[in-house]
Amino acid sequence: MLLMLLMLLLVSSILVCYAGNLNGDFDITWGDGRGKILNNGQLLTLSLDRASGSGFQSKHEYLFGKIDMQIKLVPGNSAGTVTTYYLSSKRSTWDEIDLEFLGNLSGDPYILHTNIYTQGKGDREQQFYLWFDPSSNFHTYSILWNPQRIILSVDGTPIREFKNLEASIGVPFPKSQPMRIFSSLWNADDWATRGGLVKTDWSQAPFTASYRNFNADACVWSSGASSCSSSSSSTSRPTSKSWLTEVLDTSKQERLKWVQKNYMIYNYCTDIKRFPQGFPPECRIKL
């Protein structure tokens, strides 16, 4: 009996220790109490009301990594709200990998807006509808960033790939500036929903988005050097560095095509009106 109790204690302490803690990975950076880390570090929430939104950022900077976060977006009437989740180096010629969730009226689809900046230049927008309601449950949003490619995935399904084409056609690739994770919930009803036609209904405030199960298999930057040995996580998972060389296998490529065919609603690479002088170089080559 005593032995069983001891074993139980041991098991539960191991679980707690592996369960990690969002407090160790993130700082709430603005919002005057509207951002919160709850349940012993297992849950993070951001909220928005008429007076302010809120945001958080990672304590670490990363140079390459596979970074997963489960997010549950603002439910109900989320029109006018934008939940951002991105990596950025925030320097003068910055690199950035953007996901922005544009809210909508109840029952109307969110838009997942993506962009990739290299050395301060973005203009690489792709937008998607999702194949589920992202506000009814948590879903996993992943950024794989290794020296050869950036892959954005939703519940393991790739939605976008940005390859390192620096050597072949000279398009800069983010490879030397460490980036931090940022997230925010704010009001953008001047453009977010149907191009700004639908405004935020403040009678529904406060609006809340939730985050959990953060996992970063990543190279952590500290005092000018990058160390890939440590893995920072709020879930238990063995660390391997296969993500550093990961590519899309055939079945993932098929999934990517499925998403692009059925759920992509905007692609800068096909927006002829926007690029009358010719598409950006990464759009022109057959990938």
Ligand X SMILES: *[C@@H]1O[C@H](CO)[C@@H](O)[C@H](O)[C@H]1NC(C)=O
Shortest Å distance, C-beta 103 to ligand X: 7
Whole-number minimum distance, CB 194 to ligand X, in Å? Answer: 4
DSSP string across 100-119: EEE--STTSPPEEEEEEEBT
Pick 204 or 239: Cβ nearer ligand X? 204
Closest CA to 32 of 55, 10, 13: 55
**CA dihedral angle for residue 57, residue 61, residue 66, residue 69, rounded to 10 degrees:** -10
| 96 is known as an active-site residue | yes
Torsion angles phi and psi, residue 94, rounded to 5: -90, 160
Nearer to ligand X, 43 or 71 (CB): 71
Q: How far is the CB of 165 from ligand X (least distance, A)?
A: 30
Q: Which residues bind ligand X (CB under 6 A)?
A: 102, 104, 108-109, 111, 192-194
Separation of alpha carbons 274 and 268, rounded Å? 8
Q: Which is nearer to ligand X, 82 or 179 (CB)?
A: 82
Nearest distance, CB of residue 111 and ligand X, angstroms = 4
Which residue from 264, 69, 71 is spatially nearest to 160, judged by alpha carbons? 264
Task: Please tell me which residue in 96, 125, 254, 282 is annotated as part of the active site.
Answer: 96
Please list, in sequence order, all residues whose beta carbon lies within 8 angstroms of the beta carbon of residue 80, skipping any fewer than 6 positions away: 103, 187, 188, 189, 192, 193, 198, 199, 200, 201
* Closer Cβ to ligand X, 24 or 75, answer by number: 75
Residues forming the active site: 96, 100
